């Protein structure tokens, strides 16, 4: 590739470390403090048109689908609009009943994923406005959508997506703020969200300090062949994405699950060789997730916890702890994604895997 490794052993690691800067780039020029909202150049929809939207459909594949799922939580919290998240490969052959005022977001790093493109075309054909959240400028999906938002994350070379994911999450937070401010969200609330977003790149910078701890924990568990990733609410998508990262680059079987749902199946997998990675920052469901941790501990499963309170009960229960900065709940997934990327990276390196070009996977899937 023409993109330099900048001294990093792999593109994936370089891209993980770029995230403070790529998140800054995703927000650049898009925070409007006077109006306590976000602003975008290329939506091609008037505020009036956006106010009439009564349903959002978010579609994507792979890691981008995980950002869509987080987008659902953020959009519902800030904009109070019903959101549906659909795998593009499913949406393209469905005929979902959509109101006239439904709006589609297609989320894609490459802008070339064939299923996402087909889903976009299908929804567009039915007369709905379509927006792309995309990294590659001028890509097919960026061109075919009615409007959209670019990530400006720069080229992502590692097949497993890292910086594009956190940029997608950031852009979705901005969109939730913007649409929220067109509807129910107060000036005060908008301003608070802006302050939190402004602090995010520095928090992600601090989350990169978990690298040594992630490397140590990776060495300890690299021989395990099954992992569970568990989180709730905003961090349910984080659990899915953490598991996917591990699967993609280390070829270890990993399942992401809503933490409380694990008692309906995955708990049967728990034994002393099956670590559970909990994403358990402080917040509304903290104590609930603690109970889930206790259930796993009682069955002899090793616990790895990503926490933001090193002296809390979660850290006390866990065998291994990764501590990230404390941020508002809707931004926790972005901060928590970093150590999970690093954990997957170091486990894959430990196992001698080809981190940047994992077997059987492609950077963008342009055949059905
Ligand atoms: C492939 C890549 C993933 C990516 C997915 C969707 O499976 O390996 O990293 O998340 O495609 O790609 P897109 O470019 O549409 O985001």
Taking the centre of ligand 1 as the mean of its atom positions, its distance from the CA of residue 109, in whole angstroms, is 7
Cβ 170 under 6 angstroms from ligand 1: no
pLDDT in tens, 338-347: 999 999 999 9
Cβ 110 under 6 angstroms from ligand 1: yes
pTM greater than the 0.80 cutoff: yes
- Closest residue (by CA) to atom 15 of ligand 1? 108
Phi and psi of 213, rounded to 5°?
-65, -40
Q: Which is it for the CA torsion 279, 283, 286, 289, positive or negative?
A: negative
Pairing, β 37-38 against β 31-32: antiparallel
Q: What is the ipTM of this complex?
A: 0.97
Using alpha carbons, select from 334, 337, 368 the residue that is nearest to residue 201.
334
Can you give the pLDDT at residue 1? Answer: 64
Helix (H) or strand (E) holding 277: strand 276-279
Cβ 116 under 6 angstroms from ligand 1: yes
On whether the CB atoms of residues 177 and 37 are closer than 8 A, the answer is yes
Identify whether 363 is a catalytic site residue.
yes
Q: Which residue has the tokens 């070379």?
A: 157
Taking the centre of ligand 1 as the mean of its atom positions, its distance from the CA of residue 236, in whole angstroms, is 19
Cβ 364 under 6 angstroms from ligand 1: yes
Phi and psi of 106, rounded to 5°?
-105, 120
Question: CA separation (Å) from 80 to 170, 194, 253, 359?
Answer: 18, 18, 36, 41
Output the 3-class SS for 302-330.
Answer: CEEEEECCCCCHHHHHCCEEEECCCCCHH
Stretches where the chain sits below pLDDT 50 are none
């Amino acid at each position: 590739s023409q993109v330099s490794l900048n001294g990093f052993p792999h593109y994936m690691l370089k891209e993980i470390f770029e995230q403070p800067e790529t998140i800054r780039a995703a927000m650049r020029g898009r925070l409007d403090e006077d109006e306590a909202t976000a602003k975008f150049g290329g939506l091609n929809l008037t505020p009036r048109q956006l106010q009439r939207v009564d349903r959002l459909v978010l579609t994507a594949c792979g890691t981008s689908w995980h950002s869509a799922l987080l987008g659902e939580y953020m959009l519902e919290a800030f904009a109070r609009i019903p959101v549906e998240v659909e795998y593009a490969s499913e949406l393209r052959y469905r005929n979902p009943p959509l109101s006239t005022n439904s709006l589609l977001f297609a989320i894609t790093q490459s802008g070339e994923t064939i299923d996402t493109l087909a889903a976009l075309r299908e929804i567009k054909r039915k007369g709905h406005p379509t927006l792309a959240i995309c990294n590659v400028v001028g890509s097919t999906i960026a061109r075919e959508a009615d409007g959209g938002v670019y990530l400006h994350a720069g080229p992502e070379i590692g097949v497993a997506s890292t910086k594009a994911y956190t940029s997608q999450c950031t852009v979705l937070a901005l969109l939730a703020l913007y649409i929220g401010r067109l509807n129910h969200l107060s000036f005060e609330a908008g301003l608070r969200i802006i302050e939190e977003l402004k602090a995010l790149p520095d928090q992600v910078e601090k989350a990169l300090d978990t690298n040594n701890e992630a490397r140590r924990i990776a060495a300890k568990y690299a021989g395990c062949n099954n992992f569970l990733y568990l989180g709730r609410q905003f961090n349910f998508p984080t659990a899915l994405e953490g598991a996917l990262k591990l699967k993609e680059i280390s070829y270890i079987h990993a399942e992401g699950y809503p933490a409380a749902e694990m008692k309906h199946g995955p708990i049967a997998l728990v034994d002393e060789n099956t670590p559970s990675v909990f994403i358990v920052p402080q917040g509304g469901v903290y104590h609930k997730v603690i109970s889930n941790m206790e259930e796993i501990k009682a069955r002899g499963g090793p616990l790895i916890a990503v926490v933001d309170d090193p002296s809390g009960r979660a850290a006390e229960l866990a065998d291994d702890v990764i501590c990230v900065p404390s941020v508002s709940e809707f931004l926790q997934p972005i901060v928590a994604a970093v150590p999970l990327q690093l954990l997957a990276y170091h486990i894959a390196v430990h196992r001698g895997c080809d981190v940047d070009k994992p077997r059987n996977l492609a950077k963008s899937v342009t055949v059905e």
